[in-house]
A and B are shown apart, each in its own frame.
Chain A
Amino acid sequence: MAAVFNLNHHASYVHWHFFQLSVSNLVVIVLMVIVFWAAILIKFPSHGPGGKS
């Protein structure tokens, strides 16, 4: 990861009133929300009504 991203600096934070969150944590949370909705919306591959795998 360090080869892809330059990690040699202080972490970036999002501030909103009393609320403080690192950008890296925010990225992970956004990714979780995206994967959650994808899991609901994307059709699961079906084996048909016979249920044969």
Chain B
Amino acid sequence: MSISEHEGPALEHEPRSWSGALRDWAVRTLPPEKALPDKQPSYVASWIYVFGVLSLSSLAVIILSGTILALKGPGWWHFTGIGRFFNSVHLWSVELFFFVMVIHLWGKYFMAAWRGGRKAVWITGAITFLVAIPCALTGYVSQQNFDAQWISTQAKDAMNAAGIGSFFNLLNFGQMYSYHILVLPAAVVAIVIGHILLVRKHGVVPPFKLPATTAAAGGDGAGPDAEVSAS
């Protein structure tokens, strides 16, 4: 009996290491062809499906420009031309992120994107939106200017009125800056990664089925199960 005959199915019954078990679970849960598909269902060929990836693109620009701002500091982003440029890139990428994320949210809401066992996909998307709001707020109060002072005093009153003002202090720049560049962005990125993996696992939510008469009048002949190239 050759050595190669010992390899294969017989070894699967032997005790496995935690890393092997974790790999088996990961591949079983999200096979490579699902994690990185090269085909998508035909119904994905619609502009409304573009806003998820636009949100991701905006988030990438936010992280990149924010990293540069964090490395250089407030003196650079307030008093140099290139610093003000990156400050503006960071602000407008956040504006764009919320703009396209809200449209993504509206689209998925009206598609009832929690159908077909996708409730975790919907929940992680909604939580991303909720966590992104304080992430942006702490950015406004971290500007180190009069605008930041005004927003932080107003937001402080709002937090106190809501009964959560004892957990953090919006007038504390160091604390808000830490929230803004570490705690909240890490949370947003982690939840977004989970959201994407869940989308890959469950697939993109299909549209509602049309009544037979409507489908016959306006159908393009391609059923929802038809596929198009993802690239």
Q: Which residues of B contact A46 (CB under 8 A)?
A: 45
What 3 pairs across the A-B complex have the smallest Cβ distances? Answer: A39-B47, A51-B228, A51-B229
A35 within 8 A of B: yes
Q: Which residues of A contact B228 (CB under 8 A)?
A: 47, 51
The answer to whether B103 and A36 touch across the interface, beta carbons within 8 angstroms, is yes
Q: Which residues of B contact A39 (CB under 8 A)?
A: 46-48, 50-51, 103, 107
B85 within 8 A of A: no
Interface residues of A (CB under 8 A from B): 28, 31-32, 35-36, 38-40, 42, 44, 46-47, 49, 51-53
- Closest B residue by C-beta to A35: B103
- Closest B residue by C-beta to A41: B47
- Closest A residue by C-beta to B222: A49
Q: Which residues of B contact A32 (CB under 8 A)?
A: 99, 102-103, 106
Q: Which residues of B contact A31 (CB under 8 A)?
A: 99
Q: How many Å lie between the Cα of A49 and that of B229 in the bound state?
A: 10
Listed A/B pairs (20) with beta-carbon separation below 8 Å: A32-B99, A32-B103, A36-B48, A36-B106, A39-B46, A39-B47, A39-B48, A39-B50, A39-B51, A39-B103, A39-B107, A40-B46, A40-B107, A42-B47, A44-B47, A47-B229, A49-B222, A49-B226, A51-B227, A52-B229
The answer to whether A40 and B102 touch across the interface, beta carbons within 8 angstroms, is no
- Closest A residue by C-beta to B102: A32
B39 within 8 A of A: yes
Known: A39-B50, A42-B47, A51-B227. 5 other contacts (CB 8 A): A32-B102, A39-B103, A40-B46, A46-B45, A51-B229
Q: Which residues of A contact B51 (CB under 8 A)?
A: 39
Q: How many Å lie between the Cα of A47 and that of B51 in the bound state?
A: 20
Q: Nearest-CB distance from A46 to chain B (Å)? A: 6
The answer to whether B99 and A28 touch across the interface, beta carbons within 8 angstroms, is yes
B231 within 8 A of A: yes
Interface residues of B in 187-231 (CB under 8 A from A): 222, 226-229, 231
Q: A47-B228, A51-B228 are contacts. A40–B45 as well, Cβ < 8 Å?
A: no
The answer to whether A44 and B45 touch across the interface, beta carbons within 8 angstroms, is yes
Q: Nearest-CB distance from B147 to chain A (Å)? A: 12
